[in-house]
């Protein structure tokens, strides 16, 4: 099962020539879920992977650079005759925000739901879930999100089972379900459970324990790094993180890869990457339209795949 995060916009606050405003598309198999939707996100998608059939939009908080692209996108879906349902989720206040913009997108013909989440209220998908957690930003409440796959059952060792005298067929199923067959137990022929993958998104936040805990041994931590250390004071004042602070969290949480995003327009990216790598080596700074592929741990490391402009639609 493929799992990836696509960066529709990697800037923060103000768009720059290089970086659009926040928007991150999580894709897993046929599922697509968007996190945040800054101004211009719909066009970033149209210019890259297409205005995908995302089923959910999760908002981290209500600063305009994180949601101002949503009313226009809802409207565009309508104009494009969308019929697939869409749910927008976010912290308490999401409904009021969306309703205050209703005059922009009007009554929608496709099924449209707004849902407010409490911290730690998991949103279940088939065999995975998205769970918000409260982080430390300005304003009433800001969320980070943990995307976590269910534990995968261990592998059934067919040859071993046969050699222990269990016949292929219904007996295999009974063994898998935990029954003892011919004195052979499940534990003898099935490997240990394997953890699912975990991707954690910080949202906007100053360094906080909640993020560190949520990110524990994540495959990928996507963390804001609005500033470099030279602006540490400004970061503290505005309750954002520096690249070094983000890298310290990644290191302490023992993640497999750290992706820094939400860069202030004053940074090109190299200085943020270098500051992060000085603390945590597997730090990357995606550009707009880059993707991080996240294989199962036994299959390899998460990998930053640079956008190939040749693939862009004409």
CB nearer its own copies, residue 65 or residue 290: 65
Cβ neighbours of 82 (radius 10 Å): 18
Nearest distance, CB of residue 60 and its own copies, angstroms? 17
Among 31, 43, 171, 194, binds its own copies (CB under 8 A): 43
Among 2, 298, 1, 4, residue whose Cα is nearest residue 154: 298
Considering only 87-95, 100-108, 119-127, 205-213, which stretch makes contact with its own copies by CB under 8 A?
100-108
Q: Residue 233 has which token pair? A: 């004071």
Residue that is written with structure tokens 């402009």 in the block? 309
Closest among 106, 261, 134, 129 to 197, alpha carbons compared: 129
**Two structure tokens written together for 219:** 């495959």
Active-site annotation holds for 65: yes
- Which CB sits closer to its own copies, 39 or 149? 39
Nearest distance in Å: CB 268, its own copies: 8
Residue 94 dihedral angles phi and psi, to the nearest 5°: -60, -40
Ranges within 247-286 binding its own copies (CB under 8 A): 268
CA angle, residues 206, 59, 123, in degrees to nearest 5: 105
- Residue 193's CB is within 10 A of a number of other CB atoms, namely 11
* φ/ψ bin of 3: left (φ > 0), alpha (ψ from -120 to 50), beta (otherwise): beta
Among 4, 8, 65, 206, binds its own copies (CB under 8 A): 65
Q: Which one of 46, 122, 162, 278 is in contact with its own copies (CB under 8 A)?
A: 46
Give the whole-angstrom CA distance, residue 134 versus residue 141.
7
* Active-site entry in 65, 204, 219, 290: 65
Nearer to its own copies, 80 or 107 (CB): 80
Q: Rounded to whole angstroms, how far apart are CA atoms 264 and 271?
A: 12
Minimum CB distance to its own copies smaller for 38 or for 203: 38
The answer to whether residues 186 and 178 touch, using CB atoms and an 8 Å cutoff, is yes
Size of the site for its own copies (CB under 8 A): 32
> Residue 139: which of 205, 202, 88 has the closest Cα?
205
What is the rounded CA–CA span in Å between residue 228 and residue 200?
21
User: Where does this chain touch its own copies (CB under 8 A) — which range of 72-80, 189-197, 215-223, 248-256?
Assistant: 72-80
Closest CB to its own copies among residues 104, 158: 104
Supply the angle between the helices 243-253 and 270-279 in degrees, to the nearest 10. Answer: 40
Window 6 to 35, contacts with its own copies (CB under 8 A): 13-18, 20-21
Q: Torsion over CA of 99, 101, 103 and 108, rounded to 10 degrees?
A: -70
177 is an interface residue for its own copies by CB under 8 A: no
Of 22, 25, 34, 39, the residue at the interface with its own copies (CB under 8 A) is 39
Tokens of 142: 């800001």
Q: Among 2, 29, 64, 92, which residue sits at the site for its own copies (rule: CB under 8 A)?
A: 64
Of 75, 152, 194, 251, the one binding its own copies (CB under 8 A) is: 75
- Asked if residue 90 binds its own copies (CB under 8 A), the reply is no
> Is residue 311 at the binding interface for its own copies, with CB under 8 A as the rule?
no
How near is the Cβ of 19 to its own copies at its closest, in Å? 9
Annotated catalytic residues are: 65
- Give contact residues for its own copies (rule: CB under 8 A): 13-18, 20-21, 39-40, 42-43, 46-47, 64-65, 68-69, 71-72, 75-76, 79-80, 100, 103-105, 268, 312-314
């Amino acid at each position: 099962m493929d799992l990836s995060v696509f960066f529709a916009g990697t800037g923060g606050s103000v768009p720059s020539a290089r970086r659009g405003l926040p928007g991150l598309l999580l894709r897993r198999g046929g599922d697509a879920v968007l996190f945040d939707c800054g101004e211009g996100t719909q066009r970033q998608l149209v210019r890259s992977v297409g205005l995908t059939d995302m089923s959910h939009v999760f908002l981290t908080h209500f600063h305009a650079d994180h949601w101002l692209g949503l009313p226009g996108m809802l409207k565009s879906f309508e104009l494009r005759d969308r019929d697939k349902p869409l749910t927008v989720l976010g912290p308490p206040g999401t409904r009021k925000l969306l309703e205050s913009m209703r005059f922009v997108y009007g009554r929608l013909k496709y099924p449209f739901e707004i849902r407010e989440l409490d911290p730690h209220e998991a949103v279940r998908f088939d065999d995975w879930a998205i769970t918000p957690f409260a982080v430390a930003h300005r304003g009433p409440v800001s969320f980070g999100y943990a995307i976590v796959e269910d534990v995968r059952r261990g592998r059934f060792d067919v040859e071993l089972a046969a050699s222990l005298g269990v016949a292929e067929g219904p007996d295999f199923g009974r063994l898998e379900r935990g029954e003892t067959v011919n004195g052979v137990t499940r534990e003898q022929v099935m490997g240990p459970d394997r953890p699912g993958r975990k991707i954690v998104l910080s949202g906007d936040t100053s360094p906080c324990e909640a993020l560190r805990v949520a990110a524990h041994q994540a495959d990928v931590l996507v963390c804001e790094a609005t500033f470099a250390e030279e602006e540490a004071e400004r970061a503290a004042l505005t309750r954002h993180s520096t690249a070094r602070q983000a890298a310290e969290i990644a290191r302490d949480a023992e993640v497999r890869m750290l992706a820094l995003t939400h860069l202030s327009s004053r940074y090109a990216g190299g200085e943020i990457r270098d500051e992060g790598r000085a603390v945590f080596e597997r730090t990357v700074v995606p550009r707009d339209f880059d993707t991080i592929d996240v294989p199962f741990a036994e299959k390899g490391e998460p990998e930053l795949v640079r956008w190939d402009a040749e693939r862009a639609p004409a």
